[in-house]
Structure 1
Amino acid sequence: MSVDHTEPVRPAAHAMRFAALYAEIQQFYAHQMQLFDRHDSERWAATFTNGAVFVLPALDAPVCGRAALAASVRGNRERQERDGTQLRHWIGMLDVDVRPDGTLRTCAYALVYATPRGGTPVVSRVFVMRDELVGRCGAWHVRHRVVSRDGLPEDGSAQGAGPL
């Protein structure tokens, strides 16, 4: 049996659309994390919906809404300046699930690198980030984010969890 290799193999149209969507979501997270690491609080918060909910193991309660999200970034900046440490977030192993209503469910790993002033970067924390993304006005926004940290119980009850 022989196979004709003269015709180019073309991926199905839906696979091409998904590949484009996947690249778009990767770019969304790259942009969002760079805003976060630069402490661009207002622009970072604008990547969330107005009523977004952010659940993080280091916090006693979820952060709700853009104003509270922006305030948390300003607090992170003050803490890092005081400690003399730069944090960088790397997002990888992204899984994207398109829901019937057009929302996206994503799951990704987040590595946090900490670099003390004049020091060497080290992986400080490893998280799993689960998001619900919605499309609004031609852009993606996080409506709900749950972050769990490796080494902590799912409820985040351990001490010393630290900020994202």
Structure 2
Amino acid sequence: MNTVSTELYQEIQHFYARQMQQLDAGLADEWAATFTEDGVFEANAHPEPSIGRSVISAAVKQAHGRLAEMQETRRHWLGMLTIDRGEDGTLFVRSYALIVGTKKGGEPKIVFSTLCEDTLVRHEDSWQVKYRKVTRDDL
């Protein structure tokens, strides 16, 4: 595997910034559109992976609804990205994600600390997640 240019590294950071802001805003369909049609979201906190945009979108809508009922806002903070390029141009991205939860009228708290491992593929003029594996540190 090969490392990537500074320019591409910045492009991928922008991709994640937009993607995480969509997730935190509850824009489920827009967030799911950052995955390939057959994209996979796997997490050790879930019994089964979510496969395909419609399933991924539905899971986000459900989770965002639960948070709204609890009057809790969540923010995802990604950092410590490492990016390697495969021979076919596929990107393998590894990052740490902190998820901060703030209940209405409450103090922000780190809810989860995770490792995020993505396989990104080029799609037209952007990138899409082909496969995402999220590993919560507490599980």
TM-score, structure 1 as length reference = 0.81
Kindly tell me the number of residue pairs found equivalent between the two proteins.
137
| Whole-Å separation in 2 of the counterparts to 1:118 and 1:151 | 26
Identity between Structure 1 and Structure 2 (%): 40
Determine which structure has more spread, i.e. the larger CA radius of gyration: 1
Match of 2:72 in 1: 85
Q: Identify the residue that residue 37 of structure 1 maps to in structure 2.
A: 24
Number of the residue aligned with 1:140: 127
Describe how 1:37-56 pairs up with structure 2 within 5 A: 37-56=24-43
Q: Find the aligned partners of 1:96 and 1:26 in 2 and give their Cα distance.
A: 10
Structure showing greater relative contact order (alpha-carbon pairs closer than 8 Å, 6 or more residues apart): 2
Cα deviation 1:124-161 (Å, max 9, x = unaligned): 11000000000011110000000101121xxxxxxxxx
| Secondary structure of 1:144's aligned partner | strand
In 1: Cα distance, 2:112 partner to 2:64 partner: 18
TM-score (norm 2): 0.96
User: What is the Cα-based RMSD across aligned positions, in Å?
Assistant: 1.1
SS at match of 2:5: helix
In the TM superposition, 1:1-164 aligns within 5 A as 18-152=5-139
Query: Please, which runs of 5 or more residues in structure 2 have no aligned partner?
Result: none
Superposition deviation, residue 81 in structure 1: 1.0
Deviation at 1:42, TM superposition (A): 0.7
Q: Distance in 2 between matches of 1:76 and 1:56?
A: 14
CA distance in 2, matches of 1:131, 1:110: 12
1:53-96 CA deviation, whole Å, 9 max, x = no partner?
Answer: 11012211000000001101100111001111111000000000
SS at match of 1:108: strand
Detail structure 1 runs of 4+ shifted over 6 Å in the superposition.
none
